[in-house]
Structures are given as C-alpha cells and as structure tokens.
Amino acid sequence: MPPRTRRTEGLSRERIVEAAVELLDTAGEAGLTFRTLTERLATGAGAIYWHVANKDELLTTATDAVVAEALPAASAGSPEEEIRAVALGLFDAIEQHPWLATQLLMQLTRNPGGPVAPRIFEAIGRQIGALGVPEHSWFTATSVLVHYILGTAGQTATAEVSTTREAFLDTVARSWENLDPEAYPFTRGVAKQLRNHDDREQFLAGIDLVLAGVTTRHSS
Amino acid sequence: MPPRTRRTEGLSRERIVEAAVELLDTAGEAGLTFRTLTERLATGAGAIYWHVANKDELLTTATDAVVAEALPAASAGSPEEEIRAVALGLFDAIEQHPWLATQLLMQLTRNPGGPVAPRIFEAIGRQIGALGVPEHSWFTATSVLVHYILGTAGQTATAEVSTTREAFLDTVARSWENLDPEAYPFTRGVAKQLRNHDDREQFLAGIDLVLAGVTTRHSS
DNA sequence: ACCTGAACACCGTTCAAGT
DNA sequence: ACCTGAACACCGTTCAAGT
C-alpha cells in the first residue's frame, strides 16, 4: 500500500460540493451549471465527472451536506423539544439556502432511496417513537410532520434570491386578496395570515397542532 | 364587432394544453419539450408561443386543468367527509398523472400567487372553517393538510413511468432496510410500513390524524 | 489516476418572414 | 391575427487525448 500522495491543491468531491453550494446560495438553482462550476474551480467538465456521476448526484450530495450540518447534534430535552429543534434547524437552513426547500421536497418524493430522506425521517421519527405513539402510526405521523416542516418552510423561502421574503409574501398575499370573492372566500380571508405565517412562532404552532393530533389519537 | 371566424382545425390554448397533458402522462416530465409538442401538434415552435407565454405557463396551465377536474364538484356531506373527498380526488389524480405531485409541490412553494395554490387551498380551507377551527389557526391547519396530502400522494407516485408503484416502493423499502442499524434504527423499522403506505386506508388514516390535532387543539 | 476541452445531442426562446 | 421554421444561446454529458 503506497502512501497517499499529498495534494494541497487539486480537485476533490468535497471541493466540488462546496463550490456547488456556494453557487446555489449566490445565484440560485439556475446559477449552478457545469460551466459556472468549471469556471469557479478552474477546471474542465470531465474533471468534475471524474469525482461525481452527474448533476443529480451533485445536487443530492450538496443537499445532504447542508442537511447534515443543519440537524442538531445531540438530543437534549423532551421528544417535543427535540422535534422543535429539528424543525427549527431545517427552517433556518432553508432560510439561509433558499434552494434547499425545493431540493428537499424533490429528494423526499423522487429519491426517497437516497441519503437525504432517511436522515430527516430518522431525526423526526425517533422522537415520534419516544412520544409513545403506537408503532402502526409511526410512518404516517412522521410523514405528516416532515411534510409540514418542509412545505411550510418552503413557502417561506423566497422564490427569487433578489426579492426579500417580506416582499415575496406581500405579493402573494395581494394576489390572493384580488381573487374572485364568490369562488375564493376562504383564501381571500387567510391572505393576511399568509403575510406573516413564516414567523417562527406561527411555524411552531403548526408543529404543536400536528403533535396534538399525534398524541391525542391513540389515547382514545 | 366582426363575427368570430370559425375554425374547425387550428391551434388553440386548449389544444396545446391538452397535448401537453397527454405527453406528460405518456412520457413523463422529461417527455414534454417544445420539439415533441410541435411534432404532435404538427406546427412550429412560434405557433405555440403565440398562445402560451413560455413553458412555465404551459406547465402551470396544464396542472391547473388537471386539478380543476380532479376536485369534487359540490359539497355533499360533513366537513370531514368533504376533506376526505378532496384528498382522495387529488390522490387519484396523482396516481393517474404521476408528474402531478412534483408539479403541485412546485406550484405551492414557488408559485403560490398562481391559479393552482388557491384552488387547493380553497377546497380544503372552507371545510376547516366549517369544522369550527378558530380563525387564527385556519392558515396553519389548512397548510398542514395540504402538505400532507401532496407529500404523501407524491411519495406514492412512481418516479419512473415505466416502473410499477409496487416495485418502486419495494426498492425504497429495501434500501431503507439496508441502512446502518446504529445510525438509522427508526427508518429501518418503518421500512415495511413504507411498502404499503400508499393504501388509501393508510392515507386516510393520516388525514384523520391531522384532523384530530386540528379539532382537539381549540377545545382545551 | 486524474484532468483537459472540444464535440455532441439536446434544450427553451426569438424573430424575420410568410399568409 | 396567426403561423413557419431556421437560428441563437444555452444545457448536461461524453470521450479521445494528454500527464
């Protein structure tokens, strides 16, 4: 076994993923292409393909890396507290990396066999078990929570990197307020709730609402 | 006002959307391109752009058309029954149009100002109101339900049109069962629940779980 | 083993030109 | 008003060739 040659410079999977995350953060999903990536890494397309199978794998790996960092390390308090910590960890990560929401939704629905889905499922699901939920409801209860967290946090994330969150939500709320009153009375009515539904408090209230359902159900 | 010239043939927005849905159903998301579309409609690219602004608008319109057809027309029974009817309507539509799940998730998170999000929000939200949920929880409660429905139905939809649903879920379950026992005890454990979680019964059990949370919360 | 970069087969979109 | 279809500026991916 020859000693591994030392390389201060040189490409690596890690460096590529790191650059991909930076590009996604800076320029959004459309900003990550093999051209921008090769330019930033000062290399050729083939070099990247040596370390990474294709763009899908690159996106999966980038998403997984960000999620791994976002999830809280050790369990501290009660199951409820832990679930809130996981939820807020993902919420904050999505705020910092707006592309993450779409990517996570895609991973869950289209690539549940990949590394990302189990990571999130495990973080939430363990606490569901600790909560005393009967085993036959574990999958459903965990699914509900995970989809609420990602969906809600995703609605919060600004669509365009350039717009601020407030401006984005305001635009949506305004368009809801302009809907036909006959056909859309409910949606018009909750438009103002949308305006600040991304408050962490509001977000956590939703978590508690789900937890109420999860814990009530099996005591009857 | 000159009388509208009659045209038995000729392009129209409706014909384009119809062809787009057919292509999506037949060949999946990757199968819908302006080339395949112009070929099927025996026309040029410019002709399509005369009726539709761009591909995003085409996808939004196609999604909206399918959703409008999938939602039950008139409210018959109790709010709970109506919510189940809406959920099953979307569930079945996603089963028939596997591309729909991803598209709906995208519409909700990236284009909530478009026509699709209000349509779904309204169908669920009205019943939330009828359920006696206090107004300040309307948005949150509706969000939880909508995201559960789409997320779960989406996990059910096969990723590839060619694979059957059973084979897809089996593959995912198998990969979950092969996870590291130390790091993923929970996910490994629920793998077998994943195998048939797409049962309509299981799906409706999740709805009831959320409804339990929604209706419990404000009675305390 | 690792990297280069031209080439390939595709995209969505535009636009001068037709009818 | 509506349609044609070539052209444009981009993609992700491959692969012979280098070191």
Q: Would you state the pLDDT for residue A85?
A: 95
From A116's Cα to the closest Cα of chain B, the distance in A is 12
Q: Specify burial of residue A187 (Cβ count, 10 A radius: 0-12, 13-18, 19+).
A: buried
CA of A155 to C1' of D3 (A): 40
Among A111, A138, A143, beta carbon nearest to B152: A143
Residue B25 tokens, joined: 């159903």
Question: Which residues in chain A are closer than 8 Å to B184, comparing Cβ atoms?
Answer: 118, 122
Residue A14 tokens, joined: 């890690």
Give CA B34 to chain center in angstroms: 23
Dist. CA B83–CA B138, nearest whole Å: 14
Q: Would you state the pLDDT for residue A158?
A: 59
- Of all nucleotides in the shown strands, which has a C1' nearest the CA of B31? C11
Q: Would you state the pLDDT for residue A4?
A: 33
Q: Would you state the pLDDT for residue B161?
A: 52
Would you call A10 helix, strand, or coil by DSSP? coil
Dist. CA B179–CA A112, nearest whole Å: 13
Would you call B177 helix, strand, or coil by DSSP? helix
Of B165, B166, B131, B159, give the one whose Cα is nearest residue B145. B131
Q: Does B146 touch chain A (CB under 8 A)?
A: yes
Q: Would you state the pLDDT for residue B2?
A: 34
Q: Would you state the pLDDT for residue A151?
A: 86
**Residue A19: pLDDT above 90?**
yes
Question: Which residues in chain B are closer than 8 Å to A176, comparing Cβ atoms?
Answer: 113, 118
Give all domains of chain B, ordered by start, each with its CATH number: 1-52 (1.10.10.60), 75-217 (1.10.357.10)
Q: Using the 8-state DSSP alphabet, how is residue B182 labeled?
A: T
**Residue A219: pLDDT above 50?**
no
A residues 74-113 closer than 8 Å to B (CB): 101-102, 105-106, 108-113
CA of A16 to C1' of D14 (A): 20
Could you tell me where the beta strands, DSSP code E, fall in chain A?
none
In this structure, how many other beta carbons lie within 10 angstroms of the beta carbon of residue B179? 18
A40 in contact with nucleic chain C (CB within 7 A): no
A49 in contact with nucleic chain D (CB within 7 A): yes
Dist. CA B110–CA B104, nearest whole Å: 10
Q: Which residues contact B204 (CB under 8 A, 6 or more apart)?
A: B84, B87, B88
Dist. CA A79–CA A12, nearest whole Å: 39
Return mean pLDDT, chain A: 88
pLDDT tens readout for residues A165-174:
788 888 999 9
Of A9 and A207, the structure prediction assigns the larger pLDDT to A207
Residue recorded with tokens 């569901």: A128
For the packed helices A185-195 and A165-177, what is the interaxial angle rounded to 10 degrees?
160
Q: What is the mean pLDDT of residues A66-84?
A: 91
CA of B45 to C1' of D5 (A): 8
Q: Which residues contact B28 (CB under 8 A, 6 or more apart)?
A: B98, B99, B160, B161
CB contact under 8 A, A205 and B140: yes
B39 in contact with nucleic chain C (CB within 7 A): no
- Of all nucleotides in the shown strands, which has a C1' nearest the CA of B56? C12
Q: Which residues contact B32 (CB under 8 A, 6 or more apart)?
A: B20, B23, B24, B59
CB contact under 8 A, A151 and B136: no
Dist. CA A110–CA A106, nearest whole Å: 5
Dist. CA A187–CA A65, nearest whole Å: 37
**Residue A8: pLDDT above 60?**
no
Q: Would you state the pLDDT for residue B220?
A: 40
Amino acid, single-letter form, for residue A143:
S
pLDDT in tens, chain B (220 residues): 333 333 346 899 999 999 999 999 999 999 999 999 999 999 999 999 999 999 999 999 999 999 999 998 877 789 999 999 999 999 999 989 999 999 999 999 889 999 999 999 999 999 999 998 999 889 989 999 999 999 888 777 655 455 677 788 889 999 999 999 999 999 999 998 888 776 788 889 889 988 988 887 554 4
Q: Does A50 touch chain B (CB under 8 A)?
A: no
Distances (CA, A) of A137 to A141, B52, B166, B205: 6, 45, 21, 9
Would you call A64 helix, strand, or coil by DSSP? helix
A10 in contact with nucleic chain C (CB within 7 A): yes
Measured distance between the N- and C-terminal CA atoms of chain B, rounded to whole angstroms: 64
User: Where does chain B have alpha helices with state H?
Assistant: 13-27, 34-41, 45-51, 55-70, 79-96, 99-110, 116-130, 138-156, 165-177, 185-195, 200-217
Dist. CA A14–CA A19, nearest whole Å: 9
Of B11 and A158, the structure prediction assigns the larger pLDDT to B11
Dist. CA A201–CA B136, nearest whole Å: 13
CA of A90 to C1' of C5 (A): 40
Dist. CA B54–CA B34, nearest whole Å: 10
